[in-house]
Amino acid sequence: MKLAKFFNHDINNEYFRLYDRDGNTVYHEDPDGYWIKKMLNDGGRVIYCEYLDGFWWKYEFDKNGRKIYCEDSDNGVIFDKRSTYDGKIVEIDGKKYQLKEI
């Protein structure tokens, strides 16, 4: 991915960056050919990040901005604190709870 060349940018004189509508950097390329691209959520938090070597990170956040999921392509590490619902059993932070009607 060499977007600087595509946009006829003289990468030898300065970095090349692309920004989203909120002014956040979503792509960065330097004169050495290193690049990184990011996807951000509505709150400006990185939810996906990919590097020149193909390495990537993926994140999810709850409505309060807490990280609830993280995964990487290198060693497959997964951090998962997302809530799941299966019938009347709910799992939160690795603990299972049974729902009962009151």
Tell me the pLDDT of the chain (102 aa) as tens digits.
578 888 888 888 789 999 999 999 999 999 888 999 999 998 889 999 999 999 999 999 988 888 899 999 987 778 888 876 556 777 788 888 877 666
pLDDT at 1: 53
pLDDT at 17: 95
Work out whether strand 78-80 and strand 95-98 pair parallel, antiparallel, or are unpaired.
Answer: unpaired
What does pTM read for this prediction? Answer: 0.69
Which residues are 39's β-sheet partners? 48
Q: What sections of 1-102 are H helices per DSSP?
A: 3-6
Count of domains in the chain? Answer: 1
Structural domain span for residue 9: 3-98
